[in-house]
A and B are shown apart, each in its own frame.
Chain A
Amino acid sequence: MGMIKAHNLVFEYIRRDEEGNVESINRAIDNVNIDVTKGDFVAILGANGSGKSTMAKHINAILTPTEGTVWVNGMDTKNEEKLWEIRQTAGMVFQNPDNQIIATVVEEDVGFGAENLGVPTEEIWTRVEESLKAAGMLEYRHHSPNKLSGGQKQRVAIAGIMAMKPECIVLDEPTAMLDPIGRKEVLQTIKELNKKEKVTVLLITHYMEEVIHADKVIVMDQGKVVMQGTPREIFSKVDELKQYCLAVPQVTELAYELSKKGFAIPKGILTVKELVEAINSIA
């Protein structure tokens, strides 16, 4: 079984009035089946409101299914006895860097989650050091988190999750509030965790350029999974993506425009290098 598996998952937000009568039902996840292989880097794309965050919250059991089942490393998220183990297995990083920082010194912040898990003090310090190093933030260990840039704060948040030694990390739009370099730094950190530490990564984002290195892309629309494939497969379908309120990276769009004009540029170009080579080969 994979790292994360959802089988016929349905989730409904149910609103009740003061007497507890149901006022409205919003089916945010509508019969989703996904299977994330251990060690993979999977990106989730989708319009605002398509159900991405609701999906993410199922992975560390903040939410549990209305129907169907979610397993994290084989553990059914409905099993309350496994709650802590599930949360330790799958760590979450959110959008706003400022809401995730708790302590006044970087290294304390990073150790906080591990401490809560009851990790012995000695071990915590080793983990803090390792995770800060992995996130490229070791030199800031004695700094105050408030003084850091947005990208640095997000890397501290990621280090904090890493110190809990999760097998899987779920990031819900971690770069939405960052400047270009902050985005690059955070993405680099995520990629390295995936490659070097073999952490399974689930990245939710609206930046199309961030998913080109993923092993697999999942596209959601109105609570359903509507596309799945490699970045190249997904980004070859420019028109279909537009239907789901999405876009392609600017180089992919340029390649697409050129092929529309009759030039023999392959579909699904993902990087500047690929496009330059493609243009050079037909010149």
Chain B
Amino acid sequence: MSSIIVDQLNYVYSPGTAYEKHALKDINLVINDGEYIGLIGHTGSGKSTLIQHLNGLIKATAGTIYYNGEDIYDKNYNMKGLRSKVGLVFQYPEHQLFETTVYKDVSFGPKNLGLEQLEIDLRTYEAVKMVGLGDDILDASPFELSGGQKRRVAIAGVLAMKPEVLILDEPTAGLDPKGRDEILEQIAKLHRDSKITIILVSHSMEDVAKYADRLIVMNKGGIVYNGMPHEVFVHYKELEKIGLAAPQVTYVMNELNNMGFSVNPSVTTVEEATEEVVRALSQTYTSRRKIKND
């Protein structure tokens, strides 16, 4: 089973200068094959720094990372291989589109891997399809596309590398609600169909609650919570103190619970909340009817 193990990771930016910043502090973490992880934390908590370690773009100041059991800082480790296995989609990735056609942009990575032309073409078509775009877009200039389309082209460029792990740094920032839902649905589908491990960095508590199996919460360079969404959002008061919040429905459930309704306060999605309220309300209906009849 493939996995990522982060062992006592520390990172310091610009050590020994006035700008020195201890951005990651003793991070320990296991990410298993096929998981969907939501990574949350206030601005500056270290999310982007951490994910750049996972594909080797930044080298730890101390500690190490094992990818599929191998120490990525070993002298003989194939770092270039790691970068294609762990795909990273940066924030506002559309700013990095630079080719004249979508085809050229998406095929850039596979080409760089030195693959055969047929394989490059296949991967390019497949990646574009995976992000929900049609073939007809391949000849378009990236600059003619809408914000949501550009974002998908950028994600396709990373998918064309056939990564085992896909990391996305706030992939929905600035998109309208429909564009946001479409991208998140595409990622969920990729996760289901291709069993890719997903790490989603997000500022939307609603989105990570809906899609992630497990949440990792960062604060000031460390990990403060690591668990399933309902386990993490129970701590909504503590989360607020560190710049975060819980999904709106979690607050509704807590209020109802405090008022004596028998609803589960750790619910995090609209679907679950609907079920809980329906159940609680039909219980009160039944019990009232019973009292009446008695």
Contacts and interface: CB of A to CB of B under 8 A. Distances in A.
A180 B281 CA distance: 31
Q: Main SS of the interface on chain A?
A: helix
Contacts of A276: 252, 255-256, 259
Contacts of B89: none
B108 interface: no
A65 B178 CA distance: 29
A83 interface: no
Contacts of B256: 276, 279-280
A177 B274 contact: no
Contacts of B261: 279, 283
Nearest to B244: A180
B274 A261 contact: yes
Interface stretch (A110-118, A134-142, A250-258): A250-258
A170 to B, nearest CB: 17
B273 interface: yes
A203 B168 CA distance: 28
Given A179-B244, A272-B248, A258 B278 contact: yes
A202 B149 CA distance: 27
Interface residues of A, number: 42
B293 interface: no
A272 B42 contact: no
Contact of A253 (B243, B270, B281, B284): B270
Interface in A203-261: 206, 208-209, 242, 245-247, 249-251, 253-254, 257-258, 261
B176 interface: yes
B287 to A, nearest CB: 10
Given A149-B42, A250-B206, A254-B273, A46 B176 contact: yes
Interface of A: 46-49, 95, 149-151, 173, 176-184, 206, 208-209, 242, 245-247, 249-251, 253-254, 257-258, 261, 263, 272-273, 275-276, 279-280, 282-283
Interface residues of B, number: 40
Interface of B: 41-44, 146-148, 173-181, 203, 205-206, 240, 243-245, 247-249, 251-252, 255-256, 259, 261, 270, 273-274, 277-278, 280-281, 284
B174 A206 contact: yes
Contact of A181 (B243, B247, B278): B243
A247 B175 CA distance: 12
Nearest to B203: A179
Nearest to A182: B43
A150 B43 contact: yes
A82 to B, nearest CB: 33
A180 B243 contact: yes
